[in-house]
Amino acid sequence: MQNVFKWRHFQADIILLCVRWYLRYSLSYRDLEEMMMERGLHVDHTTIYRWIQRYAPELEKRTRPHLKACNNSWKVDETYIKVRNVWMYLYRAVDSDGNTLEFLLRPTRDAESAKCFFVKALASTARSASQACPISEQMAPPTTPTDTTIITSIPRVINVDKNAACPKAIAELKATRMLAQHMGLRQVKYLNNLIEQDHRFLKRLTKPGMGFFSFETAWRTIQGFEVMNMLRKGQVQGVNKGDVQGQATLVARLFGIVA
């Protein structure tokens, strides 16, 4: 496995500890700087920022192949993220059990953005079974097919809000046969309460940072927030909901570190 920690001044386990804590809890970079100082480690907050930008997307990439199956009832909604004092739109989807299906940050809230999100979500559900593998004692990026049960179902029904953009995008995808003609579309506000509640975890995490300074840094950080939320929900093989120690062990193994 490629050593993604090569040339780093700090040990890999310290880096991953800071990355996990920042992505999981409502902490600022300066909060983590002080917490590390209590442990005798002088880590500048800008260094922690660079770690998040480097390893949050890497964590998402390494976790994706090990996600459990989700059901085929989708709930889709978008929430607001401030980037350089401008509101951007984070499209998100969960299934009827509250498991995260997909997410995508876009600068606009329109049919084209909604369509991009649905295409991304459908692509992830159609991912080949050869890209899925279970958690093993010696974790490494998947190279061979081992389990064909970790693929999300094609949607049977999609619940959206009253915004006209999503129905328009879905109609276009049906016209190109990317979605089945018989797939149901429901625009009933109370049916999306589950995903609206799920947005709260993200709002809680972004608040200490007071917004983002670029679209790219926002997207990289959000990837980490979302994947840690999946871990918290118990969406990854071998780690149950609420198993904090299991989450730490899994992240270490994903990066080839013996926890």
Helix/strand/coil percentages in the chain, nearest 5? 50, 15, 35
Between 245 and 131, the higher pLDDT residue: 245
For the chain, domains (ranges, CATH) are 69-212 (3.30.420.10)
Per-residue confidence (pLDDT) for residue 241, from 0 to 100: 92
Q: What is the mean pLDDT of residues 183-205?
A: 91
Percent of the residues in the chain that have a pLDDT greater than 90, as a whole number: 75
Q: Write the burial class of residue 52 (CB in 10 Å: 0-12 exposed, 13-18 middle, 19+ buried).
A: buried
Per-residue confidence (pLDDT) for residue 207, from 0 to 100: 85
| pTM score | 0.87
Compute the chain's Rg from CA coordinates: 19
- Judged against a pLDDT cut of 50, whether residue 247 lies above it is answered with yes
Dump pLDDT digits (tens) for 32-62. Answer: 999 999 999 999 999 999 999 999 999 999 9
Between 136 and 4, the higher pLDDT residue: 4
Q: Which of 15-24, 152-161, 245-254 has the lowest mean pLDDT?
A: 152-161
Query: Could you say which DSSP state residue 10 is in?
Result: S
| Mean pLDDT, the chain, whole residue set | 87
The answer to whether the CB of 20 falls within 8 A of the CB of 27 is: no
- Judged against a pLDDT cut of 60, whether residue 236 lies above it is answered with yes
- Judged against a pLDDT cut of 90, whether residue 81 lies above it is answered with yes
Model confidence band, residue 4 (pLDDT cutoffs 50, 70, 90): confident
- Judged against a pLDDT cut of 80, whether residue 148 lies above it is answered with no
Partners of 186 in the beta sheet?
A: 159
- Judged against a pLDDT cut of 90, whether residue 158 lies above it is answered with yes
Dump pLDDT digits (tens) for 85-134. Answer: 899 999 999 999 999 999 999 999 999 999 999 999 998 876 633 344 55
Query: Could you say which DSSP state residue 208 is in?
Result: G
